[in-house]
Amino acid sequence: MSDTTTDDTTKTGDDQDLGAAGSQLSTAPVEDAPTANLPALGVIGWARWFWRQLTSMRVALLLLLLLSLAAIPGSLIPQTGVDETRVADFRERHDVLAPVYDKLGLFHVYSSVWFSAIYILLFVSLIGCIVPRTWQFVGQLRGRPPGAPRRLTRLPAHTSWRTSATPEEVREAALALLRKRRFRAHAVGDAVAAEKGYLRELGNLAFHLALIVMLIAFAWGQLFKSEGNKIVVEGDGFSNTLTQYDDFKSGNLFTNDDLVPFSFDVKEFTGTYERSGPNRGTPRTYETEVTYTEGADGEEKRTVIKVNKPLEIGDAKVYLVSHGYAPVVTVRDGKGEIVYRDAVPLLPLDNNVTSNGVVKVLDGYRNPQGKKEQLGFQAFFVPTFGGSASGTMLSQFPALDYPVLALNAYHGDLKADSGIPQSVYQMDKSKMKEFKDADGQLLKKLLTPGETMKLPGGAGSITFEKDVKEWAGFQVVQEPGGGWALGGALAAIGGLAASLFVQRRRVWVRAVRGDDGVTVVEMAGLGRSESAKVPEELGDLAGILYERAPGVTDPDPDGTAPEDTGTSGGPGTSDTSDTSDTSDTSDTTDPDSHAVPAEGAEQQ
């Protein structure tokens, strides 16, 4: 009875003697060693060489690394498709770098030629790598595990013993045992061949296929995506058309017809905040109640949009991304007639919602001389005023505890008809004049709800109404490839885990009748890489099979039975010592005699 041994000294020539049994345990392509005196490649030869290099795993990993490095400038340098204002500001501040970045395409990295080249080469490399390996793997699944080599003792892990059971009984027991352990097993001649761990290669292929899916999803999403932002005041609504957005950007292949048809009305925004403690001012509730309809004639539905809980309509998702206040102001002319009345959204400047903006009166106003003019008011709003003793117009809390509106007044031409787009939150003062107070200074005043600021010379007034509305900022996103990208990422993780933690291995069990009429059982295992799992598993299998085909005592050369039964070690015992001497001994044995291997005599 021999121990299960592991032989780490297997020579290259020994591997070649294994034949089909030692064939690759994966679908990775075999690289032939270069030979001397190679002929000229020619055009077709160079094309094949280039294709083999492109579809090799080394090049695929290199391209993946290059793609990751190429994406770094896109996150560090402002991009034209994301923020045109930042790009323009960068150009103004960097006269030398900006032209260089333009030539290199660094302001539009993801649509540049060099980024697209890396992306396409990686895509082709993955496809060229995965297709042949997939067909090869299918062929392996349709085939059967290779038969046992002549000398199982040449394998890294092997064991043997002698038993009184017949060879047929041993092979039947081994076949049943291996199949029970989920091996693909079949009988080949005087041995049973089994293989397990196909999930490793399946995981490897799934990982590469998932990368292709992710690349396609990423490209599809970039080409057909859209993203727009809109501020909606309580009581107002939004329709998903291009003209309704405050700002909008989309992919190169996106068209207006791709917009999902829907509309919604903002009924109420609810925001509550921590009143005390270290988290004072932190939002506790941040949600907007809306009614929405899908399509032109859809049924009206009511829902609540919360942070990270968007409203999903078809391929579109409506996120709640910001919040602010919109004081209601009324502007009257010198005759007391209302020329403007509306809620004015102001932009927050800090976490306590200190806000600023402008009030623009473009039409309907005439000055005391009866001439048409435009009015402009710079507005500064705090929901919780700290009082005059604080000395600053900074909000002390984000809730409407003590709202105060500060206004500066101008009149003249706002240049709204110049054809140049203007921000609704900024005012062009180049053709505006200041309203002066009694001291000849710019007219300005702090107003609480219900108070009015009079304009000098009978020019009118502006009133801060008691109604202060709130607005919600929404981001409408359409990403057609998002689901595929997520599925590809999950599949890639699962495939990578399978390829890392599952080992493909083969096991052979040979049972033949020796010269003395006693059955000799040999077991051996072979894994893709050196691992302790193969010897351990082989020892476990050998121990179970040994119970079904127990060993017999080998006779001494003088014909007397030894006192030791020879079963103390058992086939499942692992021996990691160097067995090169043993391998040499087995080499001198006639391979066709099926005599007991040298390991079988070690314990006698």
Task: Write out pLDDT tens, residues 139-179.
Answer: 878 888 888 888 888 888 899 999 999 999 999 999 999 99
**384: β partners:** 402
Q: What secondary structure does DSSP assign to 122-170, as a single string?
A: HHHHHHHHHHHHHHHHHHHHHS-PPPPPS-GGGSSEEEEEEESS-HHHH
**Binning pLDDT at 50, 70 and 90, where does residue 266 land?**
very high
**Using one digit for the tens of pLDDT, what is the confidence trace for 470-526?**
999 999 999 888 888 889 999 999 998 988 888 888 999 999 998 888 999 999 998
444-460 mean pLDDT: 93
* SS3 assignment, position 32: coil
Pairing of strands 460-478, 452-455: antiparallel
* Residue 179 confidence (pLDDT): 93
CB distance 319 to 477 below 8 Å: yes
**377: β partners:** 359, 409
* Residue 240 confidence (pLDDT): 93
* Residue 96 confidence (pLDDT): 87
**Binning pLDDT at 50, 70 and 90, where does residue 137 land?**
confident
235 is written with which tokens?
């009581």
**Binning pLDDT at 50, 70 and 90, where does residue 555 land?**
low
* Residue 9 confidence (pLDDT): 43
Lowest mean pLDDT among 148-152, 199-203, 423-427: 423-427
Q: How far apart are CA 236 and CA 266, in angstroms?
A: 6
* Residue 584 confidence (pLDDT): 38
Q: Percent of the chain, pLDDT > 90?
A: 41
Burial of residue 505, with CB atoms counted within 10 A of its CB: 0-12 exposed, 13-18 middle, 19 or more buried = buried
Residue-wise over 344-354: b if at least 16 C-beta within 10 A, else e? bbbbbbeebbb
Q: How far apart are CA 410 and CA 426, in angstroms?
A: 13
Lowest mean pLDDT among 146-155, 173-182, 226-235, 347-356: 146-155
Q: Identify the CA nearest to 465 among candidates 381, 349, 398, 363.
A: 381
Q: Identify the CA nearest to 409 among candidates 372, 447, 382, 383.
A: 447
pLDDT higher than 90, residue 194: yes
419-426 mean pLDDT: 73
- Mean pLDDT (the chain, rounded): 82
104-124 mean pLDDT: 87
182-205 mean pLDDT: 90
Q: How far apart are CA 205 and CA 99, in angstroms?
A: 44
CB distance 216 to 484 below 8 Å: yes
* SS3 assignment, position 294: strand
Q: Identify the CA nearest to 273 among candidates 450, 470, 464, 474.
A: 470
Cα separation values, 400 from 326, 353, 396, Å: 12, 10, 10
